């Protein structure tokens, strides 16, 4: 094995003074420049040669990317450059977005989370991204600066494949907004990895649920799966069953089975496809049961 060297390949560090300048540079150097946030994925990819960019364009600190704020009406807005630990430590996040806080705590190690960012996790678009499920279920919308100005990208339609998103050369993700979750919401993120702390997910299951009197079951359940499809996966068919049938052990088992049947995992160094499928069923059942118990306790 090659001796690991701390150095990165030759690369230019660019710190633009404005978003316009950053966007123009990125567009003019498509394929050889990328926006740079925490670097926790970027450095690994550059060192192992998977990415061969010539320029890192540091967008941390440009126009609001360094801020995180909570508004009781608009919800939470997380700047692209804000490190995960800063988000997790906010009392408003622990109170109103506990599923996000829970998911953040499963990412790598404490010191890595001082660099890693939520928006970076999303833009990297790894199907295994731990915080993506929570952000999707909370109805997250990315604000993106591009050649045609600022636009919004809802996360539900943002991911196109492993590492592939709606972002185009010249686009810079500025922030993520999570609207205030409905009253009485309960969340759970269950992750299985090769060890309890610090590893990538073999399977991750996010569940968010809240009372909804307009539905036959009286509750709305949302489910997102990590690491079992080319993109972070929502399971609308399972959500539909949980909206229409009385919530009990049998309905939860049915929804978990649908989740298992909906995913399309691969074999890799962390686990086989078959193992992943079975774990999706078991973990979805577990997460739904735990959330259901909390909802009924609260009622």
Partner 1 sequence: MGYHRITLTVNGVMELVDVPSNMTLLQMLREKLGLTGTKNGCASGECGACTVMLNGEPVNSCMVLAVECDGADVVTVEGLAKNGQLDPLQEAIIETGGVQCGFCTPGILISSRALLNRKPKPTEFEIREAISGNLCRCTGYNRIVEAVKKVAGTE
Q: Which residues bind partner 1 (CB under 8 A)?
A: 4-13, 38-40, 43-44, 47, 56, 58, 85, 105, 108-112, 114-115, 197-198
Q: Which is nearer to partner 1, 7 or 31 (CB)?
A: 7
CA distance linking residue 147 with residue 165, whole number of Å = 17
Shortest Å, Cβ 193 to partner 1: 12
Q: Which is nearer to partner 1, 39 or 98 (CB)?
A: 39
Task: List the one residue out of 228, 276, 4, 236 whose CA is nearest residue 126.
Answer: 228
Q: Which is nearer to partner 1, 106 or 251 (CB)?
A: 106
Measured CA to CA in angstroms, residue 161 lies from 128, 166, 181, 289 at distances of: 12, 10, 27, 30
Q: Which is nearer to partner 1, 15 or 294 (CB)?
A: 15
Shortest Å, Cβ 76 to partner 1: 21
Residue 27 Cα to chain centre, angstroms: 25
Task: List the one residue out of 139, 212, 227 whose CA is nearest residue 178.
Answer: 139
Shortest Å, Cβ 122 to partner 1: 19
Shortest Å, Cβ 7 to partner 1: 6
Alpha helices (H) in the chain, listed in sequence order: 19-28, 42-47, 84-88, 91-96, 98-104, 110-113, 118-124, 132-137, 236-244, 249-262, 273-298
Shortest Å, Cβ 198 to partner 1: 5
Q: Which is nearer to partner 1, 1 or 213 (CB)?
A: 1
Provide the token pair at 217.
């079951």
Return the SS3 of 189: strand
């Amino acid at each position: 094995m090659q001796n690991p060297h701390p150095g990165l390949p030759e690369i230019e560090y660019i710190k633009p003074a404005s978003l316009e300048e950053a966007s123009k540079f990125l567009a003019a150097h498509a394929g050889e420049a990328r926006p740079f946030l925490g670097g926790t994925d970027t450095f690994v990819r550059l060192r192992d040669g998977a990415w061969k960019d010539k320029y890192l364009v540091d967008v941390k600190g440009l126009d609001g990317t360094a801020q995180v704020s909570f508004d009781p009406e608009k919800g939470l807005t997380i700047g692209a450059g804000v490190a995960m630990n800063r988000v997790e430590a906010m009392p408003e996040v622990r109170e109103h977005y506990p599923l996000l806080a829970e998911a953040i705590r499963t990412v790598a190690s404490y010191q890595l989370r001082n660099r890693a960012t939520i928006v970076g996790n999303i833009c990297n678009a790894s199907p295994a991204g731990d915080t993506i499920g929570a952000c999707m279920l909370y109805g997250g919308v990315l604000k993106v600066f591009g050649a045609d100005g600022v636009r919004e990208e809802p996360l539900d339609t943002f991911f196109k494949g492993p590492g592939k998103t709606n972002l185009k050369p010249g686009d810079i993700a500025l922030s993520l907004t999570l609207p205030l979750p409905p009253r009485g919401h309960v969340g759970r993120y269950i992750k299985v990895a090769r060890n309890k702390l610090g590893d990538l997910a073999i399977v991750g299951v996010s569940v968010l649920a809240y009372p909804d009197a307009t539905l036959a079951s009286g509750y709305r359940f949302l489910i997102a799966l990590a690491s079992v499809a080319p993109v972070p996966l929502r399971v609308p068919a399972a959500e539909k069953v949980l909206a229409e049938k009385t919530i009990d052990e049998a309905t939860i088992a049915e929804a978990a089975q649908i989740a298992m049947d909906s995913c399309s995992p691969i074999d890799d160094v962390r686990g086989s496809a078959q193992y992943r499928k079975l774990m999706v069923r078991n973990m979805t059942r577990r997460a739904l049961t735990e959330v259901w118990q909390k909802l009924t306790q609260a009622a």
